[in-house]
Amino acid sequence: MLTLTGAATVAAALHRAYAAGWIIATVAAVGLLLLPLGLEERTIVALLCGPLVGIAVHLVALAKLALR
């Protein structure tokens, strides 16, 4: 899903938002891997929530473009 929203963001010529979405998703995933949980729980949380943050960044940028 992050790949799909990223492609839409690039197609709309929002290259900074594209990069920001991927970077923020990566930082969020790494941060979530540092939670004081079991290995399995940390992995699941990081793999689910990290990309969701990046998707949100892409969708916000696309929504702002649509409102212009």
Say whether pTM exceeds 0.85: yes
Q: Domain residues of the chain, as ranges?
A: 2-67
pLDDT, residue 68, reads: 87
* 35 DSSP 8-state letter: S
pLDDT digits (tens, 9 = 90+) for 6-43: 999 999 999 999 999 999 999 999 999 999 999 999 99
**Which residue from 47, 56, 49 is spatially nearest to 21, judged by alpha carbons?**
56
